[in-house]
Structure 1
Amino acid sequence: MQRALRILVLALIATLAVLWGVAWFGREPGEPLGDAFVRQIARLTGGEAPAPAIPGSVQLPGSMSLGGPFTLVNQEGRPVTEADFKGQVMVAYFGYTFCPDVCPTELGGIASAMDLLTPAEAAQVTPALFTIDPERDTPAQLKAYVSNFHPRMVGLTGTPEQVAEAARRFRVFYAKVERPEMSEYLMDHSSFIYLIGEGGKVTALLRPQTPPEAVAAAIRAQLARR
């Protein structure tokens, strides 16, 4: 069973790597890499990727579905599923606590976006870090880490199999990077921000380095649709 799961994860990583490569070499002049990536997926699924409605967002083609049910463990050590966030808009980022630069930058941007919301709006939003490094990101490690960003932010971890399944549903690329000169391994990973609604389904996808103002606008757009 574990061998089959490893093969599945490796196949997923290889597929995503190929798609990223095709997106990189096939993007239009000035086209963000994130848009090119989604456009390549749209081609495979027979859909079309319309122009983004909100600055920084990537419109998902109608035939493309991201996200879904997940079973993980929160920073308090309690098992949680997508049902625990019913009625909330989740602002999710897949990263890890030992990330040296990109993850804290993106999570800081999400925290700044939360501060732009009114108290009533913020009460309907849960920012979340989904780890892609379950080996080191224990609940206690996540609890200490996410508390540095925003009081409403949650950290989600799990077994390697649970984390891999969540990443598969959200089509997140990640891989361990180890070199002899490194004292600690790093994790290579995609860096989108996901807005998640009912059933764990992605309702909006935001590119890396989307300004907090645009993230807040995307959140408000999701709240207005409820």
Structure 2
Amino acid sequence: MNNKYIPILLITLLLGVISSNLLLKKPTAPATNSGEPMGGDFTLHSMDGDVSLHDLTGKVALVFFGYTYCPDVCPTSLARISEAFKQLSEEELAQTKGVFISVDPKRDTPEKLKAYTQYFHPNIIGLTGGKDEIDRVSGNYGASYKITQKHSESAYLIDHTALIFVLDTDGKIREFLPHATSVNGVTSVIRKYIAEKSSITTPPAS
């Protein structure tokens, strides 16, 4: 063998080993910068009172961080969630919840959030809180946001994470759906975790 090809061969073999290890390695839960698993319980505020994540135990929750003045990503994401909900049966819908968490507590009041989310679907709830509360929840979920294009104290845009966080019926993050996920894709994921819950709670046939 020509010696000049030996380094190339070694690199190829090394890449093959690395790829194999990545494929065989069991995926771990996402982690925040502190090393703690993402997610966890929280309590924020809606027009109808405080809402905690543990209140949604038994439901598949689709959590999205955004704001009502968002010109594009938020309305299209909520519209997609809404259309997915419309594909569910009444029984399936009763086992789901959409959660829209505002990253704009200065402008998004509980009243405004309720009107905004109800426009898309009655099964989506809007939550807000003080900046410290929002920072804590968004940080725990690995959702980032940053004010941009600020024209005045009340006129600005916000860059923010555009993922839909899918939480199972125990409130644990199971998937992150990209903004481009189709309506059918969202529906399929919801049904997957409803079915997972059913398989656990349904006793085996005797």
How large is the Cα RMSD of the aligned pairs?
A: 2.2
- Using the aligned pairs only, state the percent identity: 35
Measure the CA separation in 2 of the matches of 1:107 and 1:90: 13
Gaps of 5+ in 1: 1-46, 51-59
Match of 1:74 in 2: 46
What is the identity, as a one-letter code, of the residue corresponding to 2:41?
A: P
What is the identity, as a one-letter code, of the residue corresponding to 2:183?
A: P
1:63 CA drift (Å):
3.9
Cα contact 1:82–1:199 (8 A) shared by 2: no
Measure the CA separation in 2 of the matches of 1:48 and 1:142: 42
Q: Which moved more, 1:121-130 or 1:193-202?
A: 193-202
Match of 2:176 in 1: 205
What is the identity, as a one-letter code, of the residue corresponding to 1:99?
A: C
- Pick the structure with more strand per residue: 2
Report the number of matched residues: 170
After TM superposition, the runs of 4+ consecutive aligned structure 1 residues lying more than 6 A away are none
1:48 CA drift (Å):
5.5
Match of 1:62 in 2: 28
1:104 CA drift (Å):
0.2
Measure the CA separation in 2 of the matches of 1:144 and 1:158: 17
Q: Closer, same or farther in 2 for the Cα pair 1:105/1:63, shift >3 Å?
A: closer
TM normalised by structure 2 equals: 0.76
Match of 1:214 in 2: 185
Task: Indicate the structure (1 or 2) with the bigger Cα radius of gyration.
Answer: 2
1:167 to 138, 153, 164: 138
Cα contact 1:113–1:215 (8 A) shared by 2: yes
1:71 CA drift (Å):
1.5
Q: Closer, same or farther in 2 for the Cα pair 1:72/1:151, shift >3 Å?
A: same
Q: Secondary structure at the match of 2:119?
A: coil
Cα contact 1:67–1:201 (8 A) shared by 2: yes
What is the identity, as a one-letter code, of the residue corresponding to 2:28?
A: G
Gaps of 5+ in 2: 1-20, 31-36, 198-206
2:143 corresponds to 1:143? no
Match of 2:165 in 1: 194
1:84 CA drift (Å):
1.1
Cα contact 1:90–1:195 (8 A) shared by 2: yes
Match of 2:105 in 1: 134
Q: Which moved more, 1:173-182 or 1:150-159?
A: 173-182
Cα deviation 1:172-211 (Å, max 9, x = unaligned): 0101113449971111101001111355321221111210
Measure the CA separation in 2 of the matches of 1:116 and 1:106: 16
Q: Secondary structure at the match of 1:94?
A: strand
What is the identity, as a one-letter code, of the residue corresponding to 1:223?
A: I
1:49 CA drift (Å):
8.1
Measure the CA separation in 2 of the matches of 1:90 and 1:214: 15
TM normalised by structure 1 equals: 0.70
1:118 CA drift (Å):
1.0
Cα contact 2:138–2:144 (8 A) shared by 1: yes
Cα contact 1:48–1:62 (8 A) shared by 2: no
Measure the CA separation in 2 of the matches of 1:126 and 1:132: 19
Q: Secondary structure at the match of 1:73?
A: strand
